[in-house]
Amino acid sequence: EVQLVQSGAEVKKPGESLKISCKGSGYIFANYWIAWVRQMPGKGLEWMGIIYPGDSDTRYTPSFQGQITISADKSTSTAYLLWSSLKASDTATYYCARRAEGAEYLQQWGQGTLVSV
Amino acid sequence: EIVLTQSPGTLSLSPGERATLSCRASQSVGSNYLAWYQQKPGQAPRLLIYGASSRATGIPDRFSGSGSGTDFTLTISRLEPEDFAVYYCQQYSSSPLTFGGGTKVEI
């Protein structure tokens, strides 16, 4: 069974750094793109960026470029979302999700990580 | 950027009724690359439909998707109690990938 398990909720102060994680299992992690999606409190979904763990090819939505860093470690089947300096406006639930093969819709989702700044 | 506008914002219906949700794109969605997701409170979204009309694995056949170009529809033929949730459309034909604002289906 394909599973994506995310790290737990975080409470941080503005200016602090943070890395949250998403560990995949039940499939060959390196072979499927992993996306990160933001959901601010009471709001809709926003596509942040996507990474191919096989070669770390990464693409960012323009509005998130420079604000976050997406990385992956295929040896541990884990993707990461990193902030170097958090803002209050980064308060949200962040989801990782596995992209379908050959098309950019999201087939399986992690449970979400709530980040409070 | 393709902007997706979902309507109505909220749909108030009873179990057993039919739900019709709309997703309109600001420009044509190539190859009907449109997906629908369901999100219940406190849960992650779940894929329902991809390619505008193909049901994802395990999705009941009361859910159907249709449409092309700029106008897409998600239909729930007979609402079950577990179908009351928020539904989002997403286009994946051009970057940046975008989601609609969501439609809440409430009792």
pLDDT in tens, chain B (107 residues): 999 999 999 999 999 999 999 999 999 999 999 999 999 999 999 999 999 999 999 999 999 999 999 999 999 999 999 999 999 999 999 988 999 999 999 98
Quick check: A17 pLDDT over 90?
A: yes
Residue A59 has pLDDT above 90, yes or no: yes
Residue-wise DSSP of A7-63: PPPEE--TT--EEEEEEEESS-GGGS-EEEEEE-TT--EEEEEEEETTTTEEEE-TT
Find, among A111, A98, A106, A115, the residue nearest to A29 by Cα.
Answer: A98
Which single residue is written with the structure tokens 């289906």?
A: B105
If you measure CA to CA, which chain A residue comes closest to B102?
A: A44
Q: Is it the case that residue A66 has pLDDT exceeding 90?
A: yes
Residue A102 pLDDT > 90, yes or no? Answer: no
Q: If you ran DSSP here, which 8-state letter would residue A85 be given?
A: S
Chain B contacts to A (CB-CB under 8 A): 33, 35, 37, 44-47, 50-51, 56, 88, 90, 92, 95-102
Give the span between the Cα atoms of B40 and B50, in whole angstroms.
19
Query: d(Cα B103, Cα A94) in Å, to the nearest integer?
Result: 20
- A41 to chain B nearest CA, in Å? 11
Contacts of B90 in chain A (CB under 8 A): 45, 47, 105-106
Shortest alpha-carbon distance between residue A87 and chain B (Å): 23
Q: Residue B72 gets which letter from DSSP?
A: E
A29 φψ region: left (φ > 0), alpha (ψ -120 to 50), beta (else) = alpha
